[in-house]
Each structure stands twice: as C-alpha cells, then as structure tokens.
Chains A and B, each alone.
Chain A
Amino acid sequence: MAFREINSKMIEASVVPGQRLFSQRGAMLAYKGDVSFTPNMTGGQGGVMSMIGRRVANEDTPLMTVEGSGTVLFGHGGHHIQVINLAGDTLYVEADRLLAFEGTLQQGTMFLGSQGGVMGMVRGQISGQGLFTTTLKGHGSVAVMAHGGVFEVPITPQRPVHVDPQAYVAHHGDVRNKLSTALGWRDMVGRGSGEAFQLELSGSGAVYVQASEEKL
C-alpha cells in the first residue's frame, strides 16, 4: 500500500527506489528524502502511441513521474481524496480526477461508445466524461479526487445502483453501466425534477460517489 490517508484532503506516499509513482503536476505539497519530480511528456505510461491516443481522447492530464526514496505528501485544490486499492481489476475514472497512482498499474484509454454504442456516447456527454475515459488495471493504489466526501457503493448482481451522473466519480469491477432516463411529460414542459438522467450500474464491483454535484 503506497498511499496513506493523513486527513480527508491529504495523502502520504512512500517512494522506494525502483518503483515509480505518477501524479498530477503541481499536486506535491511537501516531501522528505531524495525524491525527483519529472514532467511526463507522454502524460503517463506507454510510448508515443499511447500519448497520441490520450491526446486524441482528451484524457491527457499533465502528469509527472515521482522517483527516488522518501515520502511525499500530495493534495490538490482542497479536494477530498479517496484512495482505491486495486487487486487485479480495472478502475474507470476521468483523467483529471487522478491525483496519483502507482506505476505498477496499466494505464489505458477507453472509448465509451464501445460500451453501449450510441447510448454510451450520450452517457459520456451527460455525465461529463466525454467520449473517452481512463482505465487503470492491475495491482496497486490510486488516489482519486472528488468534490466533497466520497463514499463507496457496492454493486451486486441482484442490486444495480443508480447514480446521479454529476456525482459519479469512478467505478471498478465487472460493471456494465447504462444511462437510464426517467423523462416524463413534466420534463417536456420544463417542470422536471432535475433528476431525469441517472447512471445505472449493474454487475459486480463498486462505484464511488461524491457528496456533491459539482464537477472538479
């Protein structure tokens, strides 16, 4: 476990030689020991092709590589931080929510249209995810930022979870998500409840929800 939560808005990461971390640029608050911060031109792992992929997908948040030996404190913009430990499964998260993650994780970009076709793209637009989202796969820890506190809602095959698209932060596991609409005649005449669109997540895994409807 590379990340330790110091309080709700700050984490401590231990850096050991040979293991690199990636973090958002400028998110370091303090460090002890001999640690170097190198801007990451490709915006994460992989070669130039991955970089182009991320640029095209607009998932190329400026990252830096953290190497050396010591401890680093991370925090950004007063946002709440949730540490998610992955054990072989895949986390789906927006790149600009990533505060830091371990180099052992495989970083990728996923086209939302590949999960639900046109409806997937509509879902991406409404939840603010865009057409693409970032995936992190493997064993390691991820620190994700959110506006307000974060809570984890487990998803089991019998119990799908409905989430406000604006409060959605990330999810992991074997989860299918689709946009469910509850549009009625009231929405047509402008008297809607404001909750016409929900994200329905089903399968088995967990979804992280922030206690606010404000995007980062």
Chain B
Amino acid sequence: MSHHPGAGPTVYDPMTLPSDDNVDSYTFCVELKGNQWFLQKGKMIAYYGSMEFNGIGHGRLDRLVRTSFHSPLHASDWVVAEGSGKMLLADRAFDVNSYDLDDGNLTIRSGNLLAFQPSLALKQSIVPGFLTLIGTGKFVAASNGPVVFMEPPIRVDPQALVGWADCPSPCHHYDHGYMTGVMGGLRALTGLGGASGEEHQFEFVGAGTVLLQSSETLMAEQATGVLPPDAGVPGSGGAHTGPSQAGGTPRLPGQLGDLQRRFGL
C-alpha cells in the first residue's frame, strides 16, 4: 500500500486488492476462486466478480452444513459465499484480523467471528456464548481494538477475552482479599468504598494462547443457538441439580449483591 502525502486515498481495483489479507485494520479482503466461505450475515460490505450468497441449509448446501457446521440450530445467522472474485468484510469499524489454524482448535466469542473457511469445523463450545473452530484453515475475527496474544498462566477480565487456542478450558477466579478482615467486613456491611470492579476474572493455565482485545467494551453477542435441554449440559436450561443459586431476597442498596453471596458474607 503506497501512500504518498497529498496523493489522496489509495484506490483499489480487482487486481490490486489483496488476496485473503487485510486492506486496512478495519477491512479484510477474501478472494474466491470457485471455493466457499462462511460469513456471518451482514458482514460483507462490497464485492467484485460473480458470487452467490446463500442461506445455509437450503437444498444442495445441506451436505456442507453436515460436514463443517455442526450446530444447525444457529445456522440461520450464517451465509455461504461461493463463486469467483474478491469480497470485502468489515464490522462497524472494529479491528479485523485473520488467523490461520493448522490442525488446531480455537474457541472464540460468538460475536467476534466474522467468517471462516469450510475446511474448518464450527462447533458450539461448552462455555455458553463461545464457538470452537477445529481443523485447518483461515478465519476472520473482529475485536474492539487490536488483539493481543498472551501465554498462560494469566487472569483475564471477562469482557476483554476474545478467545483462546489449545488451552484447557478456563475457570473462574475471584479476588476478594480486600473483603476479609475488619475493614473488609465493614466494607461489605456498609457498602462504603465500593468494589474495584476486578473481583472476577477468567483464569487460564497450561499451554496455549489467550486472545485479548484492547478494551473491555464487548461486541454484540451473536446467538449460538439453543442447546438441547439435557441434564448436565451447561447453559441448556435443563434439569438443575443441587440447590438453586438464585435467591429470592431483594437486594438492599449498598450491598454488593452477588459478590456478597459468593464470598459467603
């Protein structure tokens, strides 16, 4: 991208547009040569050439859904692009990046995934609101601010987490050191002093990579589909075992609500 001062904006044509690469930090260009890509609905902003955009699950695309799209329950949010040409993807001026998986797995927040090659299999993650991509291929994801890669062990603000690769599943971590002791008890009783807003993190350990966005402002969540109501499936709304967590007591002003209950105060 040669950009001389005073030369005006760079003008692209079908020849100069990059192939499967970023045009700028907010736009990604996909080249189709008779192959297919999965896109989230509404993320294509322009295209050159002749392509077709089909909703998933219609007739001849049935097989594709079976092989690389394992959660038919949210398939209506996705379209298949096929044909030849170049297509531009963007999402509300968020930072866009592509990632290559080589016989790997990556779990990503559902709202951040924009597009992926059908050589990857998309599955619902056990963690509600996340999707897992498995296999070899390229996918495109958006984030609020550039993505930073970190290695475990690390604790992450839940809102800043974009996804993780090759990691064992994350767990919750609660910091409440300041809630103990005399001053902590006083704090919990009166509500004075407030909370730091950092009592709860996701903790990652083991080998792998954690993807963070540079802001704790979340992107709009994309429905991942309903889960079959089975016992033991997290987030399925199935049969609850054990005592119910949701208490019926109204929250008093100044109380820390859920935190208090979690810490057994």
Contacts and interface: CB of A to CB of B under 8 A. Distances in A.
Interface of A: 6-10, 25-32, 36-39, 41, 62, 64, 73, 75-79
A32 B154 contact: yes
Interface string B179-199: 000000000000011111111
B127 interface: no
Given A29-B157, A36-B177, A7 B196 contact: no
A30 B198 contact: no
A38 B178 CA distance: 6
Given A37-B196, A41-B192, A7 B214 contact: yes
23 contacts: A6-B148, A9-B214, A25-B197, A29-B156, A29-B212, A29-B216, A30-B157, A30-B160, A31-B154, A31-B155, A36-B175, A37-B196, A38-B178, A39-B195, A41-B192, A62-B194, A64-B197, A73-B150, A73-B160, A73-B212, A75-B160, A77-B217, A78-B215
A78 B178 contact: no
B214 A32 contact: no
Scoring A27, A28, A41, A62 by chain B CB atoms within 10 A of each residue's CB, the highest score goes to A28
A10 B214 CA distance: 5
Nearest to B192: A41
B232 interface: no
A29 B160 contact: yes
B153 interface: yes
Given A29-B160, A36-B177, A7 B145 contact: yes
Contacts of B146: 7-10
B155 to A, nearest CB: 6
B36 interface: no
A9 B215 contact: yes
B144 interface: yes
B193 A30 contact: no
A27 to B, nearest CB: 8
Given A10-B146, A30-B150, A39 B196 contact: yes
B157 to A, nearest CB: 5
A180 B178 CA distance: 48
Given A31-B154, A32-B154, A78-B145, A38 B216 contact: no
A84 B237 CA distance: 50
Contacts of A28: 157, 198
A64 B145 contact: no
Contact of A75 (B194, B201, B214): B214
Contacts of B153: 32
Given A29-B157, A29-B216, A75-B216, 18 more contacts: A9-B146, A9-B215, A10-B145, A10-B148, A25-B194, A25-B198, A30-B155, A30-B212, A32-B154, A36-B178, A38-B196, A39-B196, A62-B194, A73-B148, A75-B214, A75-B215, A77-B216, A78-B217
Nearest to A29: B160
A85 B192 CA distance: 33
A172 B77 CA distance: 51
B222 to A, nearest CB: 19
Nearest to B155: A31
Scoring A6, A26, A27, A75 by chain B CB atoms within 10 A of each residue's CB, the highest score goes to A75
